[in-house]
Structure 1
Amino acid sequence: MQPLSPSDLALGDLLVARRVLNLQQLDEAVGLAEAWHVRLGDAILSRAWIEPAVYYQAVAYHYELPFVDLIGDAPDPSLLAADEAELYARRLTMPWRIRDGRLVIATAEPGPGVVLFARRRWGNAIEFVVASKFDIVWAVQTVFADALSHRAVYELAELDPDMSAQQVFSPVQVLFGYGVATCLLVGLALAPIATLVAVNLILSLFYLGNFLFKGVLVSVGGARSVDRDEAIAIAARALSDDDLPVFTVLVPMYREPKMLPMLARSLRQLDYPLGKLDIKLVLEADDHETIEVASTLGLEGIFEVIRVPPSHPQTKPKACNFALQFARGEFLVIYDAEDRPEPDQLRKVVATFRQAPANTACLQCRLSYFNARENWLTRMFTLDYALWFDQMLPGLERLNVPIPLGGTSNHFKIDVLRELHAWDPFNVTEDADLGVRLTQKGYRVGVVDSTTFEEASCHAGNWIRQRSRWMKGYMQTFLVHTRRPLHLLRSIGPLGFLGFVFFIGGTVLAGLINPVFWLMFAIWLFGLANGFDQLFPEPLLYLSLFNLLAGNGAFIFLNMLAPIRRGWLNLIPYSLTAFGYWVMISIASYRGLWQLLRNPFYWEKTDHGVSKHVVRELALGRETTT
C-alpha cells in the first residue's frame, strides 16, 4: 500500500473544507488511492460523488492556478500540432494560449511531473492553467477531428497496403481467378466429364481435410491443461491492486442508448481498481440520442465519451482506431454494449500476460450467451460458440495456428496494437483479420479461461445479417492474406498456412458449396436423375458418401461434446438439428458473397437489446429508478 503524497492529502482536506466531499467519502477515497497506488483524484473520480468540473476547480485552487473551461474558451489551434494529438490526450496536457510572451499550458494533472514534462517539451517560458480531463479530450477531438479521422481510416492502407482490405481483389488475384475460370470452361468444352470429376475430387478432398483438421483441433483443444488454467486463476487472485496496470476499455456503440445503464453496471462489477480503468464509450458523432443518454447518466469519471467524426466506411474498426488515439492504458480490451465479462477477467489477463512468452500480443477470452435457452436459434448459436471458443481456439493456440479473434473480449498490448496500425476499417471482421496479421508479424495470440457473456441473436433476420457480415469478413481476410501466399507460408509456417486455409477458407467454402452437394445427394438418393454415375467413380462415390455421412455426423458429435465442459447437458439433443442451422449459414454465406461484390465495406449492424431477457432486465431497471 502506497501512502499518499502531502499534496494529495492537502487536496483532500481542501475538498472537505469546501464541502465538495464529506469526511467519510474522503476516508474512502484515501483508502482506495493508497490500495490502488493511484492519485487521490483518480480514486475520487472513480466514484460518482461530485461533478468533475467542481473537482477540477478545487484542484486549480489547491495549486493556486486559474481554472479554464476549454469548451467555452477553446485552445488556440495555431499552437497545436496534429502529430502530437495522441500526446495531448495521453498526458492530459496541451498548449492553450500565448500570454505576455509565455506559453500557457492547460493540464488536468498539475504537479512536478507535468512541470518537468512541459519544460522538456516546450521550454521554460511557460505557465499553467487547470482544465478538466474531459475538456482536454474534447478539445483534441474537436481541433484534430479531420486528421485523427483520416488516420483512423487510412493508416493501415497507407503504411502497410498489402495488409489492408481497401483493395478487395488484387490484380494477381483477378488474373488467377480469370485463369481458373478459363481452364474450367475449356475443360468443360473439351472433356466435360473428366473436368467435373476432377472438380468433384478436389472439393471432396478439401471437405475431408476440413473435417480432419477441425477434429484434430477439438481433440487438441479439449486436452488443454486444467492445471494451467487453475494456476492462472491463483496468480490472478494473488495480484495486489497496486500491481495492476492501467487498463483501457473500448466500448463501440451505435444507436444503443438503452444498453448504457446495463453496460455501466457490468463494467463496475469488474474485480479491478476502478481508478485504473480508462473506459471509452466510442460513439458516432451523429448518434445524438446515445450521446445525450451518456451525458445524463451521471457516470463516474472513469467513463469518457469519444465522438467519432462522420466518414466512410462507417465501421466498428474505424471507430476503435479513432478511440485508440486517446487510450492511456498498458493493455486494451474491446467489449460490446451488451457484454457481461466475468468479474476476474482483467486480472486473469494481466496474470497470463506476465507468465506468457514476451511475443504474446493478444489474449482472447471465451464468448458465450446469457440467453442460450431463449429459443432454438439461441441454443444452436450457443452450441456453435461452445465448439468454437471452448474447443477449437484452444486447439489453434496449442498448434500455433493463427487465431481469428472474435469481435469482443480481445485483450491487447497497446504498444503492439499501435505498431501494427491497429484494426483494418475496411474489413468487417476486423478482429479475425488482426489475429492473422499478428501471427504474420511474429506475435503470438493466446486464449484465457475466462468467459464474456453476450446476447445471442434470437431472430432469424438479425442472425442472418450478423452471420453474413462475418462470412463476408472471412472472405476479405482470406483474400488479403493470400495475396502473397509464399510470404504467408514463410511467416506462419506450413501448419499455420494449412490451418489458415482450412479454418478461414474452409469455413467460407463449406458454407458456399454445401447446398450444391446437398442438392446432388437428394437428387441421387431419390433417383430423380441418372447422370451422376459418371461424375462419381466408385472410389470418389465412397469418399463423397463418407464426407456427407461420417463427416457431417462427426460434426454433429462434436456439437454434442461442446456443451459438456460447461455442464449444459440439456443443449445436447439440439445438436441433432444442426442441419437446419447449417442451411442458415449457407444462406448467410451467399448473402455475404453478394455484398462482397456489391458493397464490400458495408457494416450491417446487429440489433442488441431485443432478447426477452434484456427487455425484462431493462424494465426492472426502470422500475427501480422510479
Structure 2
Amino acid sequence: MRRQPPDGGSGLAAPPVEIAGLLPGFEGSDIAYAMERAQRTGVGADEVLLAAGAVQADALGEASARMLGLDFAPLVGEEPARSTSRPAYADLVALLRSGLMRLPDGRLVVAARGLRLRELAARLASRPELRRALLLSTPERLASLVRRRFAAALAEQAAFGLKRDQPRLSAGTLGATRVLFLVLAGLLALAPLLLRLLPGPLALALTSVTALMLLGWSTLRLAACAGSAMQTGPPPMRDDRRLPAYSLIVPLYREARIVPQLVAALRAIDYPAEKLQILLVIEADDPQTAAALAGHANRPGFEVLIAPGAGPRTKPKALNAALPFARGSIVGIFDAEDIPDPDQLRRVCALFASRAGTEIGCVQARIAIDNVADSWITRQFAAEYAGHFDVLLPLLGGCRLPFPLGGTSNHFRREVLEEIGGWDPYNVTEDADLGVRLVRHGWKAAVIDSTTGEEAPRRFHAWLRQRTRWYKGWMQTLLVHGRRPLALLREAGPGSGAAFVCLMGGGLAAALVHPFFLAVLIGDLAFGRPHPDELSLVAVEGLGIGVFAIGYSSALLCTAIGMRRRRLTGLWRVLPLVPAYWLMMSLAAWRAAIQLVTDPQLWEKTDHGLARLPRRRLHLARKRPRDSAAGRRPPPQGGA
C-alpha cells in the first residue's frame, strides 16, 4: 500500500508512538481511522489495528521496539530471575498483571501495548539511559512464557489452592461428613413412617423443625410471587471510553459440534473488541474441540488455554486455570451453548459503575431455555428456569440475600474473585458455592434484566445426569457452609444465613422426602389413616399436610408467574406434569446423595448441540455477527 505522510500535508495529526512504526504498511485513511477509534474508545491505536485483524501482535511489538530504540524480546528461551525453583502463585499473577519481568542478567522486560507504550516513551525521553536496561515484548509472549515455565505452580493453584489456603471452605475436606449426610437423608426419608412410632411430643418437635425449614423455602417463593417483575439494573453503558477491559472465560469439553455457534454468539456481543478478551479453556484429551476452535476461533481476541491434568477434572478447575491470564477488570463466565443478549456486558458495567454497585461482587444475568418445544422435559425445564430466574432470584438479589449463582452468565469483579480464592474445584456446582462465599466475604450478588439462552437436555438420561450433578453440588455446598453454623452466621449475618439454610436446605429436604411423604399420604387416603389418640399426633399429621400443600402451591404459583413473565405459552401442558417432574427430581436427589459418598468429584458431562427447535439459535443464524472492533467501517488492510 502507498505510504501516506503523517504530517499536515495529508491532513493527519502526528500518529502516536504505538503505531508510528507501522506507517510504511498502511494507508493514511486507515491510520486516521485507528486514531479516531482509539480516541473514541479510550485505547491505543495499535489495539484498534490488532482487534481488527490488520496486524499481528509480534509485528506490533517489533515496530514499537524500533520506534523506542529498544530490543524486542521474543521470550522463547528467557527465564525470569527468581530466588526459588517454584515461585509463589501471587508473584506469577503480579508478573502477568504488571507486564514487568526481571531477567537473570538484570535487564527488565516490559510487555506493553497501547497507552502504556505512550507512558514508556515519555519515560525514555526523559531518561534515555534506561534503554540499556529495558527490553520490549508483548502481553501474549509473556503469558506464553508463564504457561510454559510455571505450568506446575499454576496447576497446583488451580486444583488445590482453595483446599490448601481455606480448607474449611472447600468440598475437598468434607471427609466422613458426606456419609453422615447420607445417613441423615435416610432418616429424613423414613420420617413419615417413624413419626408414627415416636411419642407424640417428640414427633411434633421433630416435625416442627423440618416444617420450619420447608416453610422457609416456600415462603421465599411466595414472597417472590407477591412482588412485581423487577427490572434490575440501570440501562446499558453506551460510552465506550468508560467501559473497562473485560475477560470472558468459556470452559469446553467435547463441544466440537457447538463451536461454530459459540463463536458466532460471542462475536455478536456488543462490546469494543479492543477491550474484550475471550479465554476458551479445553482439556488436553479433547482434540476434536481443539481442532474446531482452530478452525473457527482463530481470530483476534480469542485465546485457547489447556486446563491442567492435576486434581479433579471439573469445570471450576478449568476456570481457575484461566483466571490468572484474564486481563479484564471484570470476568464473565459463559457455557459453550450460551447465546447472551448482545448488550449484556454493557448492562453489567453500568450496574458495577452505579452507586449501588460498590458493594456488588457478582452480577447474574437471567438464563432461559430456548429449546422449549423439544420434549415435555424441556418444557418443564423452561418453566422451572422461568420461576427461578425471573421470579425468585430477582427478589433475593434485590433484598441482598445470598442465592446460588447460575453456572453461566455470572460476571465478577476480578479482584473479588481473587480475594475469595476463585472457584472450588471439588464442588461440582461451583456456582452455588460461590454465591455463598461471596456473602461470607462481605460482597453481594445482583440480578440484571438480561437473558442468556441455554439448551436443556431433552432426554431423561441426559437430564438425570445433569440434575444429579446439581443436587450433589448443592449437598456439598450445604455441608461446607453448614458445618460451622456460628461462623456462617457471624460472617454472612443472621438474615443471610437463614435464607441460605431455607433455600439450599429446604430445597434438598423437599426433594429427598417428597416421594416418601407422598406414598404415606396416598396410603392413608387409599386404606384409611390410623386415628391417633394423642392431640400432638393429630397436630403432626395436620402440620405435614399443610407443609405439603403450601410447598406445592408456592412452587406451582412461582412457575406460573415465571412462565407469564417469560412469555412461555402452554401453561396447561406444564402444570399437570409438575408432580411427575418432581418425582424425577427426587430420583436425581437420591442418586446424588449416594454419589456424594461413592464418587463426590464425578462430573457427569452434559452434551450440547442436540436441540431440535432452538429459538434463539435460529435467530442467531439469521443475524450477521457484529464486528465491534471495526464498527461500521471495514477493517484496515495493513501490510505489517
**Count of equivalent residues:** 599
**Aligned mates of 1:447, 1:179 — CA distance in 2:** 34
The aligned residue for residue 74 of structure 1 is 77
Q: Supply the distance in 2 between the matched residues of 1:465 and 1:136 (Cα, whole angstroms).
A: 40
Gaps of 5+ in 2: 1-11, 625-640
Q: TM-score, normalised by structure 1?
A: 0.85
List per-residue Cα deviations over 1:150-186 (Å, max 9, x = no partner). 1112222222211111112467x9789989999999x
Counterpart CA distance in 2 for 1:539 and 1:53 is 77
Residue equivalent to 1:206: 210
Question: How far has the Cα of 1:308 moved from its partner?
Answer: 1.7
| Pairwise CA distance, 1:607 | 1.0
Q: Which residue of 2 aligns with 1:157?
A: 163
1:363 corresponds in structure 2 to 363
Cα 1:27–1:317 shift into 2, 3 Å: same
Contact 1:367 1:451 in 2 (8 A): yes
Change beyond 3 A, Cα 1:621–1:208: same
- What CA deviation, in whole Å up to 9, does each residue of 1:30-74 have, x standing for no partner? 33212110011221222233444444444444444444544xx33
Q: Which moved more, 1:398-407 or 1:310-319?
A: 398-407
Instruction: Say which SS state the counterpart of residue 197 (structure 2) adopts.
Output: helix
**2:239 aligns to what?**
240
Q: CA deviation at 1:267?
A: 1.9
What is the aligned counterpart of 2:101 among 91, 94, 100? 94
Amino acid paired to 2:97 = R
Deviation of the 1:431 alpha carbon: 1.5
Greater displacement, 489-498 / 322-331: 489-498
Match of 1:31 in 2: 36
CA distance in 1, matches of 2:200, 2:13: 82
Aligned to 1:460: 460
Which of 1 and 2 has higher RCO (CA within 8 Å, sep 6+)?
2
CA separation in 1, counterparts of 2:583 and 2:181? 30
8 A contact 1:222–1:395 mirrored in 2: no
Question: Which position in structure 1 is the counterpart of 2:490?
Answer: 490
Q: CA deviation at 1:220?
A: 3.9
* Alignment partner, residue 315 of structure 1: 314
Which one-letter code corresponds to 1:602 in the other structure? L
Percentage of matched positions with identical amino acids: 33
Structure 2: how far apart are the matches of 1:25 and 1:337?
35
Secondary structure of the structure 2 residue equivalent to 1:361: strand
What corresponds to 1:481 in structure 2? 481
Alignment partners' CA distance in 1, 2:299 and 2:390: 35
**Partners of 1:170 and 1:483 within 8 A in 2:** no
**Corresponding residue for residue 406 of structure 1:** 406
Partner of 2:546: 546
For 1:53 and 1:335, the matched residues in 2 are separated by: 29
Distance 2:364 2:395 in 1: 13
CA distance in 1: counterparts of 2:252 and 2:200, whole angstroms? 48
* Correspondences of 1:174-193 after superposition (within 5 Å): 193=197
Amino acid at match of 2:451: T
Query: Aligned-pair RMSD on alpha carbons?
Result: 3.8
Cα displacement string for residues 580-626 of structure 1 (whole angstroms, at most 9, x for unaligned residues): 111111111111111110111122111111112469969x979x9xx
Partner amino acid, structure 2, of 1:88: L
Displacement of 1:331 in angstroms is 1.3
**CA distance in 2 between partners of 1:592 and 1:425 (Å):** 18
Q: Kindly tell me: are residues 183 and 615 of structure 1, through their superposed partners in 2, closer, same or farther at Cα, counting changes over 3 Å?
A: closer
Structure 2 CA distance, aligned partners of 1:515 and 1:211? 18
Q: Please, which moves more after superposition, 329-338 or 202-211?
A: 202-211
Deviations 1:289-308 (A, max 9, x none): 32333234363322222222
The 1-side partners of 2:187 and 2:514 are apart by: 24
5 Å-filtered alignment, 1:159-308, equals 159-169=165-175, 193-194=197-198, 198=202, 202-203=206-207, 206-207=210-211, 209-211=213-215, 213-220=217-224, 223-224=227-228, 229=232, 232-233=234-235, 236-237=236-237, 239-297=238-296, 299-308=298-307
Could you say what secondary structure the match of 2:492 adopts? helix
Judge conservation of contact 1:379–1:571 (CA < 8 Å) in 2. Answer: no
In structure 2, how many angstroms separate the alpha carbons of the residues matched to 1:203 and 1:24? 77
Classify the secondary structure of the residue corresponding to 2:493: helix
User: Distance in 2 between the 1:223 and 1:498 partners?
Assistant: 20
Give the distance between the partners of 1:183 and 1:250, measured in 2 at CA: 40
The amino acid that maps onto 2:611 is: S
Counterpart-to-counterpart distance in 1, 2:187 and 2:444: 40
What whole-Å deviation, never above 9, does each CA across 1:509-539 have from its counterpart, x for those lacking one?
1111111112222322322x87696899333
Structure 1 pair 155–560 and aligned structure 2 pair: CA distance change class (3 A): same
CA distance in 1 between counterparts of 2:514 and 2:272 reads 49
Deviation string, structure 1 residues 422-465 (Cα, Å, up to 9, x no partner): 11111111121111111122221222121111111222211111
Following the alignment from structure 1 to structure 2, what is the Cα–Cα distance between the partners of residues 197 and 460?
43
Aligned to 1:610: 610
Matches of 2:593 and 2:407 in 1, distance apart? 20
* Structure 1 residue 556, shift from structure 2 partner: 1.9
Q: What does residue range 423-462 of structure 1 map to in structure 2 within 5 Å?
A: 423-462=423-462
Contact persistence 2:18–2:117 (CA under 8 A): no
SS at 2:358's partner residue? coil
| Cα displacement (A) at 1:287 | 2.7
CA distance in 2: counterparts of 1:612 and 1:543, whole angstroms: 45
Give CA deviations for 1:184-243 in whole Å, capped at 9, x if unaligned.
Answer: 99xx99x971269845863576346524543444434652575x64x711xx24x41001
What corresponds to 1:595 in structure 2?
Answer: 595
Q: 1:182 to 1:569 in 2, by over 3 A?
A: closer
Separation in 1, partners of 2:123, 2:101: 11
**Deviation at residue 25 of structure 1 after TM alignment:** 4.4
Which secondary structure state, in structure 1, belongs to the residue aligned with residue 313 of structure 2? coil
Q: Give the equivalent residue in structure 2 for 1:584.
A: 584
TM-superposed CA distance for 1:385, in Å, is: 0.8
Residue of structure 1 aligned with 2:140, choices 126, 134, 148: 134
**Mean alpha-carbon deviation: is it higher for 292-301 or for 570-579?**
292-301
Picking from 85, 88, 93, the partner of 2:92 is: 85
Shift of 1:475: 0.5
What's 2:373 paired with? 373
